[in-house]
Copies of this chain bind each other. A is one copy, B any other.
Amino acid sequence: MRMYDLIYTKKLGGALSPDQIVFWVKGAADGSIPDEQSASLLMAICWRGMTTEETLALTLAMRDSGKRLDLSAVPGLKVDKHSTGGVGDKTTMILGPIVAACGVPCPMFSGRGLGHTGGTVDKFEAIPGLNVELSEAEFLRSLSETRFANSAQTADIAPADKKLYALRDITATVESIPLITASIMSKKLAGGADALVLDVKCGPTAFMKTLEDARTLAQSMVNVGTAHGMQIRALITRMDAPLGWAIGNALEIMESVEILRGEHAAGELAQMSFRLAAEMLIMGGAASTLAEAQAKVQASIQDGSALETLRRFVALNGGDATSLDDFSRLPQAGQVVDVLASQDGYIADIDGRSLGILAMDLGAGRRDRSDVLDLGVGIRVLAQVGQKVAKGDLLFQVFAKANQLVLPDLYLSTLRLTMNSTVQSPWLLASIGC
């Protein structure tokens, strides 16, 4: 088999066989195929696409390049969630404990943040002492004892994806539906869950800009999961303003706990988390209708079992569970700067991406992978789309390092004000398989 022939076939728009795809992925991972040939094939895939069969073969080849977790020791259908990433997205920390409290095991692997979006691992790391890099034994113990486990992805999961992603990152080949699909699904399949709910973000500041693109990506992942015999559903959700009030690691822990306490229940973050959790309960066999699932979700909030599950997860994995009830034990900012409205008007939209970058510049996120975070800094977003504001109203609180220069105008420039009232569109844009 010659790599040249694979590139040439794809360049002309043909399909690669599973054997050819395994040959490529192995060769790319072990270095026997030079990076320039992989780069050329990656661009040809961006051009010509891949069939579901090819995408599944790529997914499986990348999964099989590393370790696969065996969760069979934990009884029941294990259900995972994946989000394509948004600013202020802390749904994992909310729905994981809810789903677990409702009886469905929820094994989750997360990433660290880069650029304007945060990473769930960084957020959990704001809980003092919590081990966010669990060994396989620790992960299984957490899943068995609390039905919830969350850990950073280890290097031995889908190493071929890591290698190819690094190549895609410098060759402008990240944006390709089959390549994104295989990258996500290879890691999800290696993680060993039986079912998966996808939250595909859509909007001008998300990776998928249009509903059509988001739907195509969601459908591609659903196709691959289904072809592999996995239960899989997708929600396509609006991404423009930040999700919830908190951006920044400790702040997002606080907001997650507030939601698990039953606060902000009518807000978008709670509604989205509850709906994703309900889909997971259905797939996990804990409910047969959406209404039944949603009632169970509500009960886990009202009886405190969801929050208690989070406390047990934290305590089991070395974390300070009392910090969940006493936020003064979480990392704190050196100063808090209020940002006030400089004029009257209605908030037409909020640029979540820009706020994500401002939070990154505060130290809540990484510009480079080597950056060290300040887990206490971030932004409290009080402004809401559709809100009427008067000059002097509090719109943001900036949690910064002591002595860090905070320029309120930068924050105000993320808001678009209009003279007339506007209405926020619904957060759920579409769903597949729900």
Chain A positions within 8 Å of B, measured between CB atoms, are 3-4, 7-8, 11, 34-40, 42-44, 46-47, 167, 170-173
For the complex of A and B, 8 pairs with smallest distance between CB atoms = A40-B171, A43-B43, A7-B172, A36-B39, A35-B36, A8-B172, A39-B39, A39-B40
Query: How long is the Cα–Cα vector from A43 to B42 in the complex, in angstroms?
Result: 9
A43 partner residues in chain B, CB cutoff 8 A: 7, 11, 39-40, 43-44, 47
Known A35-B35, A36-B35, A36-B38: A46·B173 in contact at CB below 8 Å: no
Q: Are A171 and B35 in contact (CB under 8 A)?
A: no
Q: Are A36 and B4 in contact (CB under 8 A)?
A: no
Query: How long is the Cα–Cα vector from A172 to B6 in the complex, in angstroms?
Result: 9
Query: How long is the Cα–Cα vector from A255 to B42 in the complex, in angstroms?
Result: 48
A2 nearest in chain B by CB position: B170
7 A-B pairs (CB sep. < 8 Å):
A34-B35, A34-B170, A35-B36, A36-B38, A39-B171, A44-B47, A47-B47
A43 nearest in chain B by CB position: B43
The interface centre, meaning the residue of A38, A42, A172 with most chain B CB atoms within 10 A of its CB, is: A172
A167 partner residues in chain B, CB cutoff 8 A: 36
Query: How long is the Cα–Cα vector from A127 to B34 in the complex, in angstroms?
Result: 41
Known A43-B43, A43-B44, A47-B47: A170·B8 in contact at CB below 8 Å: no
A38 nearest in chain B by CB position: B36
A40 nearest in chain B by CB position: B171
The interface centre, meaning the residue of A35, A40, A170, A173 with most chain B CB atoms within 10 A of its CB, is: A40
Query: How long is the Cα–Cα vector from A40 to B179 in the complex, in angstroms?
Result: 15
Other than the given A7-B171, A8-B172, A11-B172, 7 more pairs (CB < 8 A) read A4-B171, A7-B172, A11-B46, A36-B36, A36-B170, A40-B42, A40-B173
Query: How long is the Cα–Cα vector from A4 to B43 in the complex, in angstroms?
Result: 13
A3 nearest in chain B by CB position: B170
Query: How long is the Cα–Cα vector from A7 to B3 in the complex, in angstroms?
Result: 22
The interface centre, meaning the residue of A38, A42, A167, A171 with most chain B CB atoms within 10 A of its CB, is: A171
Cβ of A62 to closest chain B Cβ, rounded Å: 18
Query: How long is the Cα–Cα vector from A46 to B7 in the complex, in angstroms?
Result: 12
Q: Are A171 and B37 in contact (CB under 8 A)?
A: yes
A4 partner residues in chain B, CB cutoff 8 A: 170-172
A46 partner residues in chain B, CB cutoff 8 A: 11, 47
